[in-house]
Amino acid sequence: MSDDINPPVGVAPPAIKSNSAPGSAVPKWEQNAKSRITAGIKKLAKPTLLLKEKDAVEADTRHLVTDILCDVLGYDKYENLTAEFAVKGDFADYGVRINKQLEAFVEVKRISQKLSPTHLRQVESYALREGVQWVVLTNAQIWQAYHVTPVQGQQSEVTLMFEVDLLDENMKASVKTEMMFLISIEGVSRGKLAEFLSAQNATSPKTLKPLLLSNDVLVAIRKEVKRKTKHNIEIKDLKTAIEALIK
């Protein structure tokens, strides 16, 4: 399993590109999906707040999560969602299928309960057992989306895609919509979530660090340092300095 993860709150995704040609309008299906998500978040804000105020039990939280999955994210309750999905001796709260293919697991916690690394490990284990790469952890108010990559045996690498608090008044409605769109039926089936992962990976420390420390880049930086400072620094010393900067 992965190490404990303390995800940042309200991580906003970069601009999400449509599959349409450059310069063309956002496709109608995407506009419709985002309009539904925006309206759904607004409509369910009050029920979410009421559940939080009365410290609703997990069963009631699940009812609200089902509404969000269906009314906001566009999943069909009967075609796409399987409650209490059996996973080799355990049960995930929801298995999500698209075109009969298992795509994700959703784990639900009580609305007043803080989402924790322990909860993440639980749903992560379901994904590993079933070969699923997307998992969602939520208490109805807060939604966290993760990508799970098997590494070796039962080990995995878990990447936080985003976290959004639906009741956060400081977060723009458009940002909430963009984030939730990624895990909507359209976002998953049309490859938007996968595109977002690729964009994250392209600028991750795991990708950038070896590039910054490659010989070609070090040589280029060395030339620029010499041009700026008139000092001809050794490559090994430059590498050490950059390693210290990007620890």
For residue 75, is pLDDT > 60? Answer: yes
For the segment 194-219, the average pLDDT, to the nearest whole number, is 78
Q: Are residues 117 and 230 in the same domain?
A: no
Euclidean distance between CA atoms 81 and 88, whole angstroms: 18
Euclidean distance between CA atoms 58 and 45, whole angstroms: 18
Q: Are residues 147 and 233 in the same domain?
A: no
Q: Are residues 168 and 145 in the same domain?
A: yes
- 88 lies in which domain range? 28-202
Q: Are residues 214 and 185 in the same domain?
A: no
Q: Are residues 240 and 197 in the same domain?
A: no
Q: Are residues 198 and 211 in the same domain?
A: no
Q: Are residues 103 and 133 in the same domain?
A: yes
Q: Are residues 226 and 179 in the same domain?
A: no
For residue 139, is pLDDT > 80? Answer: yes
| Local confidence band at 61 (pLDDT 50, 70, 90 cut-offs) | very high
| Local confidence band at 168 (pLDDT 50, 70, 90 cut-offs) | very high
- Give the strand pairing for 90-98 and 81-87: antiparallel
For residue 135, is pLDDT > 80? Answer: yes
- Within a domain: 151: yes
For the segment 180-195, the average pLDDT, to the nearest whole number, is 95
- Within a domain: 142: yes
Which residues sit opposite 142 in a β-bridge? 165
- Within a domain: 8: no
Q: Are residues 170 and 210 in the same domain?
A: no
Indicate the number of domains in the chain. Answer: 2
Strand arrangement, sheet containing 134-138: 81-87, 90-98, 101-108, 134-138, 142-152, 155-165
Greater confidence, 154 or 140? 140
Across the chain, mean pLDDT equals 86
Q: Are residues 102 and 219 in the same domain?
A: no
1-37, pLDDT tens digit by residue? 444 343 433 444 444 444 444 455 889 999 999 999 9
List, in order, residues 6 or more apart from 112 with CB less than 8 Å away: 52, 55, 56, 139
| Local confidence band at 153 (pLDDT 50, 70, 90 cut-offs) | low
For the segment 183-210, the average pLDDT, to the nearest whole number, is 84
* pTM for this model (two decimals): 0.78
Q: What's 59's domain CATH number?
A: 3.90.1570
Specify the pLDDT at position 171. 95
- Within a domain: 6: no
